[in-house]
Structure 1
Amino acid sequence: MPHLQYFTCDTQDMIAKDEVIDIPKAWSHFISKREQYRICPMSSSDCENATCRIKEWLRKMSNSDYWVELSVSDGTCHLSEVVDPDCNQEQVVDTSQFASLVTLSYKNGDYFRGEFSEDGHERYGTVFKIGQSEKKISGTWKNDALEGPAWEESPENGTKFGAFIKGRRQGIHRILGPSVAEYHHLKYVTFFESDVPTGLTWKGMVGGAFLLGPATPNGKISGPACMYLYPDLSSVVLGTFENDRLVRGCWATVEEIDFVNGILVPKVGEPILQHGFLFRDVSTRSSISKLPLLQDFWESKRVQVQRSQVNDNAGEGLFAKIQFQVGDLICLYNGIRYRSARGDEGSDYCIKLNSEIDIDIPPEFTDLSAYCATSGHKSNHSFLPNAKWATLDHVRFGLICAVRATSIIQPGDEILVNYGIRMGIAPLWYKQLWVEHCKNELHMSNEDILSWCNRQYSMNGILVQLPL
């Protein structure tokens, strides 16, 4: 096993922004103090490697049926797992002491709907917040303070889950977003001690990555002991972050894990310094990257560029170095950024990032000798694809496009994506491939293809001319 680098230091020795550093040593602030808060994992695991156990823990944290019970004895809070995350049980509350259902209205328009105890000091139900956010808070109140498990639902921010003691947040608190794709809707996990966030916070990013760092009241990840965990849950960028943004860091790999107050803490091996240090490097209209030849370490383990097998004219293509399952993120697609409302249509490499921004590769950067920081632009088009466009909030490039597998891809397979170009403005090569697909795969005659063109004109008012 490789030597584990714990970066041992005290809090006062943490790295300043302007200090010349060899390694981002402050991650040990969590590792060296783990015994102070350490608890055993709250359930057994059949996983042997760190990545498998991280995935298992994230799935558990993403499950709304999962709860951690709090108990207090001798002034100490104890955590225990009370609901199997694989079960579809609901939180059970003893309502035998409560009266019938009532509704209580407040002067500001909010109202409570639920049940009161006979003495009126305890109530169980939901508070409806009337306003722009339209929040709902469900749980048990004792003397007007939340007590025990509670959850808050908001259309904008998702659902918050956590426990309270005398109105103060205590224990593991989570925020789940609206997505239902595995653990990718997990937005936030941290541990609260008497309403104060303590220890390590996990923050979900677009595309399945996570930011990890010291818990802060504003919910931002900041400090010299922070980590960006790639969607493979193995590769990381370790270093200094400020308000969720990388200041300086280097690549590393997760080797082991630990648990602190039920929060999973990754432990990494030696930094991979031969790839150099990383900085925030978001592209603009005129600059694709400040370091266009610094290849992303995570991506370099996953894909490689070779001559395409699509046809003789396809040039270079992108090929898998490892196996990909359906839903796996394969590679990155960075480029210069255009406003989507611009007059021109960009190059053949132009794809839409969102409703406002397009990503494009200028002609002078299509060759790997000029740009290899990301390689998603080398994935060729097919009307029978095995991958699709996606998005990822990347530690270095910011929000960019990516490529995600839509079927199982074996090592050596070429990565193929349907470019989705509108046929009315598509280049000639794209139209030729469409005609070949119609004839060879859809078994359409020339008359069938002309009929399809006429339907496009009838529906969209766009004349489509194809090389039949």
Structure 2
Amino acid sequence: MYSVRVAYSEVDKGVEKAADRSSRTLPIAHTCDGPRVCACSTKTPGFCFYLTFSAALDHSETAIYSGSVDGSEKPHGRGTLTWKSGDRFEGRFKHGEKEGKGCFYFSDGSSLGGTFSADELFGKGIYVFDDGSWQEGQYVHGELNGLVKEFDNLGNLTFTGNYVENCRHGLCTFYDPYGGTLNGVVDEEGSLTGDSITYWYPGCELGIRGKFLEGILDRGFLVEMKDKQEEEEKKGDVFERDVSTKDCISANPLLPDPYETKMVYVKVSPIAGDGLFARRDLPEDRVVSFYNGIRLTHQEVDSRDWSQNDYTISLDSETVIDIPPSCSDVAAYCASLGHKANHSFEANCKYDLFDHPRFGLIKSIRTLKRIRRDEELTVEYGYDHHGLGKNNADAPHWYKSQLK
């Protein structure tokens, strides 16, 4: 076992980690032929390494090699290259070049592995991001070219599509964690911007097609899948981005959501008041209704009397969604219907998050089991989910009485 010093050139120490997966890029895994900024760095930020065994080395730019060498003391066989930054490559070498199985391990916790040939990554490669999500696809001369799939850290598919020279290209599909998909031809930046992008609701029976800007709906029309053929309803309603504020629940409060309309309806409930009912047989683990509302802070909600909180639901640590009294009746507001679901401690549904093309991030109602047509949907309101149980002072009296 020997150690030799190997010169390298760092083009970019950062791996771009955009929150929007549509703009994600990868390190370039190939060898350049000299101590210069490689032209490829203008395409994608990343690492660009070159190897040389000159006797005169700039030690500030050297990497340490540990492993087997050939008669010329070039890496040959299994070995490890370690850079000053903490990045390292582990794998097999052939007369100074990466050859065979190998993997880059970057100092930020990400990695890129696959099969190398003549110092370049060829064939299937897997890039694992520092958050545990990963990307797998075909590499040609160290760059992604061909079909690529991306997964979150739980193994859920988040993207399928083609790459050309490390960039997303052509028809691509993005999958959100709530069951929706976004499909269309990406622009030069690899994002879904254009006039013919389609958002598909869970189940891919209904969608909204039209103008999207970086994956965000601007204006679109209903699309319905019939007999495996897409049929665009151009003469129907127009759907636009309509995220609520503190003062406005919706710019079009009487425009129903087309997907929700096919899943549920409202009628008088034997439990209390109005209730939410299945319009069709519903599968298990499917979002079937949406809970939009004005957006308040927790402080605003906590400071007022409980009589004003009949329709409040926490969205996150900062925001509470609320249906104001003026919008509680479907005659005044029917853009979403989730607030009509009644409570049960033996609920057949639960609250969940949903990234809605029209309303943005809101709450939704997801089935816990199969539900038959005309069966009432119920959720557990969860006032006692903070460990206070029956003595929870923030629960209404009717709720506490049911806990007894």
TM range, smaller chain: 0.7 to 0.9
Higher relative contact order (CA 8 A, sep 6+): 1
The one-letter amino acid of 2:378's match is L
What residue number does 1:189 align with? 160
What residue number does 1:432 align with? 401
Cα distance in 2 between the residues matched to 1:219 and 1:352: 34
* 8 A contact 1:206–1:391 mirrored in 2: no
Match runs of 1:3-82 below 5 Å: none
1:240/1:145 Cα in 2 relative to 1: closer, same or farther (>3 Å)? Answer: same
What residue number does 2:56 align with? none
1:191/1:299 Cα in 2 relative to 1: closer, same or farther (>3 Å)? Answer: same
Give 1:247 shift: 1.2
1:431/1:330 Cα in 2 relative to 1: closer, same or farther (>3 Å)? Answer: same
Give 1:407 shift: 1.4
RMSD: 2.0
Superposition TM-score, scaled by structure 1 size: 0.65
Q: 288, 305, 310: which one pairs with 1:348? A: 310
What residue number does 1:333 align with? 291
* 8 A contact 1:116–1:124 mirrored in 2: no
What residue number does 1:457 align with? none
Cα distance in 2 between the residues matched to 1:226 and 1:317: 35
What residue number does 1:128 align with? 105
* 8 A contact 2:187–2:194 mirrored in 1: no
Superposition TM-score, scaled by structure 2 size: 0.75
* 8 A contact 2:148–2:161 mirrored in 1: yes
Cα deviation per residue 1:319-340 (whole Å; 9 max; x = unaligned)? 0011222211111110011123
The one-letter amino acid of 1:280's match is R
| 2:142 corresponds to 1:167 | yes
The one-letter amino acid of 1:336's match is I
The one-letter amino acid of 1:169's match is L
Q: Structure 2: which 5+ residue stretches go unaligned?
A: 1-74, 385-391
What residue number does 1:270 align with? 232
What residue number does 1:458 align with? none
Structure 2 residue matching 1:389: 3-state secondary structure: strand
Q: Which has the larger radius of gyration?
A: 2
Match runs of 1:201-350 below 5 Å: 201-255=172-226, 267-271=229-233, 273-274=235-236, 276-310=237-271, 314-342=272-300, 343-344=302-303, 347-350=309-312
Give 1:256 shift: 5.6
What residue number does 2:19 align with? none
Seq. identity, %: 33
Cα deviation per residue 1:371-425 (whole Å; 9 max; x = unaligned)? 0001000000001100000111111101110000111111111000000013321
Cα distance in 1 between the residues matched to 2:298 and 2:127: 37
Cα distance in 1 between the residues matched to 2:223 and 2:350: 28
What residue number does 1:155 align with? 130
Q: 81, 86, 100: which one pairs with 1:104? A: 81
Cα deviation per residue 1:336-371 (whole Å; 9 max; x = unaligned)? 111234343661211111222211111110000110
Q: 395, 398, 407: which one pairs with 2:369? A: 407
Structure 2 residue matching 1:269: 3-state secondary structure: strand
Moved more, 416-425 or 374-383: 416-425
Cα distance in 1 between the residues matched to 2:268 and 2:360: 30
* 8 A contact 2:161–2:169 mirrored in 1: yes
Cα distance in 1 between the residues matched to 2:241 and 2:309: 26
More helix by share: 1
Cα deviation per residue 1:111-137 (whole Å; 9 max; x = unaligned)? 012222466441422111103xx2111
1:391/1:115 Cα in 2 relative to 1: closer, same or farther (>3 Å)? Answer: same
Cα distance in 1 between the residues matched to 2:88 and 2:216: 40
1:339/1:432 Cα in 2 relative to 1: closer, same or farther (>3 Å)? Answer: same
Q: How many equivalent residue pairs? A: 319
Cα distance in 1 between the residues matched to 2:90 and 2:230: 49
Cα deviation per residue 1:283-307 (whole Å; 9 max; x = unaligned)? 0111000000000011101101111
Cα distance in 1 between the residues matched to 2:242 and 2:117: 51
Cα distance in 1 between the residues matched to 2:230 and 2:132: 32
What residue number does 2:320 align with? 358
